[in-house]
Structure 1
């Protein structure tokens, strides 16, 4: 009804006959909030959608979307790659907002100020990083708003396993609270990398989030199919804190942290939500994660049994690792990122387990994209921070860094039919926006294709849209995405990236509104 009235109001004036900045004509327009799914014309003026009509519209720039779907831009709640090349590989598959929420960063103000100096093709934002705060506290250093600050600390075990003293706890909380005051979108709790922290510390994190009306975004402390210290136990802990404190607790990548116990953990989340407990979650459509080889979960005498993995489940570059290589990297290069194959998608039983998380109506789609890397002349792995386009041939990453959303459209919608097109779009746009909108007013005008909403729009061909990235060669661009508009400006046009498109804007919490 809201869509109908807004459209009717527009067409009762002469606005409909005036030329708009951009008009998208003849596409199948899908808005997951109002249920609109019909051929319509869309007009954009400035950074807003100003008309949606079955009648002709005029525009300075006309995009012919015949045979294509016109959708709200996709919103990624879990995107670690925050360099220009990372953003470009995301936007070409239709992502218009990419947020670093699981790990987060501190100092938050430094990061936002640095991002604002760049010409970014999509919206960006971050949480305040608990792991960064813990590393800085235990090493008695000042935190740096970089991924390297996290990876370089992987050789230390104190911040991963030790209970914080009262003085250390005070500094950790102070760093995080300052981050929230500087606009962070919540608190990133990467507990899987520091599982030895205290329960009182986690409780304090939830209390701080509740105080500022922002979520926590948790990679839970355990990943194990067996008890004790199981995935089930860790997710139960998260839910209990949400129930006790009233904080919004977001559970990151329930697929990879649950391993093969996903049916039990997903049922936990469903029951919590049914009782009104403020728990949300996400998943990505791959049976493989990306993590550092020295992560705490890959330690202890029984980790292989608990996680049903060996060195052969780890992939570095194009090759699987041997046990000798694994031991060497864990001892000497623990911050090295590897791909961890926790489920074999070629196995129908394993794929069905992955589908439990991806297709659940309560699960948003998020990529957990990682930055693009390369080997230097000495065999060291470095982040690619250049602006060459396409990316250099020698860079590598996880295929989810450029294929998550188009894989959903290809595999889950077109080929296997386990999601309808409208449901897939809801899980990639509206649901992520709704996850944040209580604490981030900017998200109330994103994830929708309605009059008055932000002009973050993707136009794609449902018959050809596809991910081409593989684990052996992730550096392959998605296909079938015709147009991506961010805040009313082109970031992708005629299936080509618009270089140096300055359309991205900072997304921050309501504290700094």
Structure 2
């Protein structure tokens, strides 16, 4: 329902006030900091040529140093070796005149860790896709399986707390795959019950083992196990602080209604950061806060202003995608708690569902992936202003929450398959998140500068990880000595094309995509056998 300009919203917030807050967020979207080139031994002066690869005469933008000028970029091995006003010579040259040359996009929240999903994201400018919110377990098995198959883009994962919890509560050993997790939604003990003292010790031990194997922190998918104890979450935060790694939390409640609201869940996260000193990363603040965005964003900003180690990510859609069996969609009041008008806000393969159909799926196929519209930013100015509070969050990252590709029959699409099958289905965020930011927020609405948007998609995600994973100091930057993960695109034509009905329509406008110095997309065409992706992994 549309609201008048002065109609109260969520405790007195008006649409005018919401839009003013979004505008204020835009003005401070990137917080200036000193370049890592100052005192960082991996970033240095130009090396002499010739070079393995040269990207010629593009508009080079580095969000950290503020460079925005026409340059040649020379690459040796997997690193940027030179950035020059003068022409450079190389064994291979990629033309970039009239194009933007930028750091490759880093996705902190990519559930699609399969090979076809990686290719889809490459066409959206992503050069590093990490599974951090949910995570995986065992960690070594995940890295071994992925390395054996190879990837065009970089990959990595956090340690999955939910996997450890399922193993202890249901007596089933995880195998390091997403399919194992999907199958667990036919059971509810792990979602709704407290852990005994012995179970909790074992859960923590399993998570710690994953950290010792190089996991990128702790994935805390609390929204899928809201019945876990508060002491359990506290133990996880203590563990993260002890190892100096972030937690990546999908907060335990997705609700605009108190009690058990998202606001309450954010308070829990903030309190744990204050008490333990842990770095708490908030996953998809847009879908967690929904229409209570103003209050939730205000809370998180206050925590940061007081020096707490809290970071934020969001994606540019007003619809979530997850498993129909998730606890957040159960109970007679689930639509009221989400703040939506009825069960038709939930879709399966682009078709609205009735409550009877939802009930049936929860009984017979709880692992079915559905889409749920919590805001309508394309139809409502108020909803757009709410989503802006998340996307324009100062210093916040863009992260897709890309879901795996499934057939309409629900089978996971994996292996060396390209193009995607005709019936391939996922949320359009799996295909077009980064192009949507560039096309809508930069080119059309002009609420982000190009450099600000690139910072949110490359530099800020790298900063979330770089303290615990020094490897990330070389990512998210277009500077000499940085890893040669680079996107070359036309800012006038870059476009997301995926829709909720046709989610597999690839983004367009990317001329070249380079990962670790190797082109994987050249002249907008996929290099089929390119597998230069490397693991992002903590050194232990």
Q: TM-score interval w.r.t. the shorter chain?
A: over 0.9
Q: CA deviation at 1:2?
A: 7.5
Which residue of structure 1 lines up, in the alignment, with residue 428 of structure 2? 399
Which residue of structure 2 lines up, in the alignment, with residue 357 of structure 1? 390
Distance 1:462 1:312 in 2: 36
Distance 2:236 2:380 in 1: 39
Given that 1:102 and 1:218 are in contact with CA atoms closer than 8 Å, whether structure 2 keeps it comes out as: yes
Distance 2:349 2:336 in 1: 25
Aligned pairs (5 A) from 1:90-101: 90-101=121-132
RMSD: 1.7
Given that 1:283 and 1:366 are in contact with CA atoms closer than 8 Å, whether structure 2 keeps it comes out as: yes
Which residue of structure 2 lines up, in the alignment, with residue 109 of structure 1? 140
Distance 2:268 2:38 in 1: 44
Q: CA deviation at 1:485?
A: 0.6
TM-score by length of 2: 0.91
Cα deviations across residues 206-227 of structure 1 (Å, max 9, x unaligned)?
0011111101100000011111
Given that 1:120 and 1:500 are in contact with CA atoms closer than 8 Å, whether structure 2 keeps it comes out as: no
Whether 1:446 and 2:475 are equivalent positions in the alignment is yes
Whether 1:78 and 2:133 are equivalent positions in the alignment is no
Which residue of structure 2 lines up, in the alignment, with residue 484 of structure 1? 513
Given that 1:262 and 1:353 are in contact with CA atoms closer than 8 Å, whether structure 2 keeps it comes out as: yes
Whether 1:347 and 2:376 are equivalent positions in the alignment is no
Which residue of structure 2 lines up, in the alignment, with residue 508 of structure 1? 537
Aligned pairs (5 A) from 1:296-375: 296-309=327-340, 310-345=342-377, 346-375=379-408
Q: Count matched residues.
A: 503
Distance 1:91 1:141 in 2: 34
Which residue of structure 1 lines up, in the alignment, with residue 189 of structure 2? 158
Given that 2:349 and 2:408 are in contact with CA atoms closer than 8 Å, whether structure 1 keeps it comes out as: no
- Report the 3-state secondary structure (helix = DSSP H, G, I; strand = E; otherwise coil) of the residue aligned with 1:280: strand
Cα deviations across residues 63-122 of structure 1 (Å, max 9, x unaligned)?
111110000000000000011000000111110100000000111111111111012101
Given that 1:119 and 1:500 are in contact with CA atoms closer than 8 Å, whether structure 2 keeps it comes out as: no
Whether 1:259 and 2:281 are equivalent positions in the alignment is no
Match of 2:443 among 407, 414, 417: 414
Distance 1:135 1:199 in 2: 17
Q: CA deviation at 1:369?
A: 0.1
Q: CA deviation at 1:335?
A: 1.0
Q: CA deviation at 1:304?
A: 1.7
Given that 2:44 and 2:481 are in contact with CA atoms closer than 8 Å, whether structure 1 keeps it comes out as: no
Distance 1:115 1:182 in 2: 15
Which residue of structure 1 lines up, in the alignment, with residue 18 of structure 2? none
Distance 1:433 1:284 in 2: 17
Q: Any runs of at least 4 consecutive aligned residues in structure 1 with deviations exceeding 6 A, and if so which? A: 1-6
Distance 2:355 2:328 in 1: 16
Distance 1:500 1:102 in 2: 30
Distance 1:195 1:504 in 2: 35
Q: CA deviation at 1:249?
A: 0.6
Which residue of structure 2 lines up, in the alignment, with residue 287 of structure 1? 318
Distance 2:353 2:118 in 1: 29
Q: Which runs of 5+ in 1 are unaligned?
A: none
Given that 1:85 and 1:387 are in contact with CA atoms closer than 8 Å, whether structure 2 keeps it comes out as: yes
Q: CA deviation at 1:390?
A: 1.6
In the superposition, relative to structure 1, how do residues 46 and 306 fare at CA in structure 2: closer, same or farther (>3 Å)? same
Q: CA deviation at 1:445?
A: 0.5
Aligned pairs (5 A) from 1:147-226: 147-226=178-257
Distance 2:187 2:238 in 1: 28
- Report the 3-state secondary structure (helix = DSSP H, G, I; strand = E; otherwise coil) of the residue aligned with 1:374: coil
Given that 1:45 and 1:488 are in contact with CA atoms closer than 8 Å, whether structure 2 keeps it comes out as: yes
In the superposition, relative to structure 1, how do residues 294 and 266 fare at CA in structure 2: closer, same or farther (>3 Å)? same
Structure 1 stretch displaced more, 296-305 or 189-198:
296-305
Q: CA deviation at 1:482?
A: 0.6
Q: CA deviation at 1:375?
A: 3.1
- Report the 3-state secondary structure (helix = DSSP H, G, I; strand = E; otherwise coil) of the residue aligned with 1:153: helix
- Report the 3-state secondary structure (helix = DSSP H, G, I; strand = E; otherwise coil) of the residue aligned with 1:386: coil
Which residue of structure 1 lines up, in the alignment, with residue 24 of structure 2? none
Distance 1:447 1:433 in 2: 6
- Report the 3-state secondary structure (helix = DSSP H, G, I; strand = E; otherwise coil) of the residue aligned with 1:382: coil
Q: CA deviation at 1:3?
A: 6.2
Distance 2:432 2:106 in 1: 14
In the superposition, relative to structure 1, how do residues 9 and 94 fare at CA in structure 2: closer, same or farther (>3 Å)? closer
Aligned pairs (5 A) from 1:130-145: 130-145=161-176
